[in-house]
Structure 1
Amino acid sequence: MTRPPSSSGGARRVRCRCGRTVLRQLVGHRAALDVTADADPLTAGQAAALREPNRLDWCVRTTGGGPVLMWADCHRRRADCDRPHVIDHQCTATAPPARPARRTRKPPPVPDGQLTL
């Protein structure tokens, strides 16, 4: 008897704080990467052109459960991959404002002007 997986294992569509729709998924079995990629489909060539050392592209396989992100090593298996590709998301949202420093409500242990040791 086989058990169904606890989750679909595929990518979830979520909204980034910059307002864009992105795909989120853990990619890999042993040392998985938490991938956040733009949801806009690209061709393999377009995605490869946008690739940078810290910005990877991903091959998207569509299943009954939705999109699944896979390593984009499909160019090694065949010359022209016909699946859509996506690229890692670069968020354009501004950083949240820094929290003000905490102020203590505790009064000083000595009167003003007196030094404590």
Structure 2
Amino acid sequence: MLRQLVGNRAALDVTADADPLSAAAAAELREPNRLDWCVRQRKGGPDLGWVDRSHPADCPHPHVIDHQCTTPRGTAHAHGRGQRRPSVPRGQLTLDA
């Protein structure tokens, strides 16, 4: 997975799958709440960029798509602990111990 703040002013906290896709393949997976991102290699490593209407459809850079968790809430996680998360008000973050 890739995680980065994208944007210069009001940055968006992006968590995306690291599997590279073509621009067309990423666009096929795009949904209203699941965006695709252009990945350019910069001096400091990969840099996610917005894909908007002006982004070329034949962009040569790899693209990635927002991560979409497929584990049902409250079931065992990949890390194997299998503990249910505590119930908290919607929007409140919790930390795993």
TM over 0.5: yes
Q: Is the CA contact 2:5–2:13 (under 8 Å) kept in the aligned structure 1?
A: yes
Q: Give the alignment of 1:12-91 within 5 angstroms.
A: 22-73=1-52, 76-91=54-69
How large is the RMSD of aligned CA atoms in angstroms? Answer: 2.0
Once the two structures are superposed, the pairs formed by residues 73-112 of structure 1 within 5 Å of their partners are 73=52, 76-96=54-74, 97-99=84-86
Task: Tell me the CA shift for residue 37 of structure 1.
Answer: 0.3
Q: What are structure 2's unaligned runs of at least 5 residues?
A: 75-83, 88-97
Aligned-partner Cα distance in 1 for 2:37–2:7: 12
Cα shift at 1:79: 4.4
Deviation per CA, 1:10-49: give whole Å up to 9, x if none.
xxxxxxxxxxxx1000001111100000000000000000
- 1:64/1:87 CA distance change after superposition, 3 Å: same
Identity over aligned pairs, percent = 67
User: Which segments of structure 1 move beyond 3 Å, counting only runs of 4 or more?
Assistant: none
What number of residue pairs does the alignment pair up? 78
Q: Name stretches of at least 5 consecutive residues in structure 1 with no aligned partner.
A: 1-21, 101-117
- Normalising by structure 1, report the TM-score: 0.60
- CA change 1:65–1:81 in 2 (3 A) is same
Q: Secondary structure at the match of 1:76?
A: coil
SS at structure 2 position matched to 1:46: helix
Larger Rg: 1
Task: Quickly say closer, same or farther: Cα 1:37–1:63, change in 2 above 3 A.
Answer: same
Q: 1:65 to 1:99 in 2, by over 3 A?
A: closer
Task: Name the CA distance, whole Å, in 2 between partners of 1:99 and 1:63.
Answer: 40
1:70-115 Cα shifts (integer Å, max 9, x gaps): 0013x62544100000000001234341549xxxxxxxxxxxxxxx
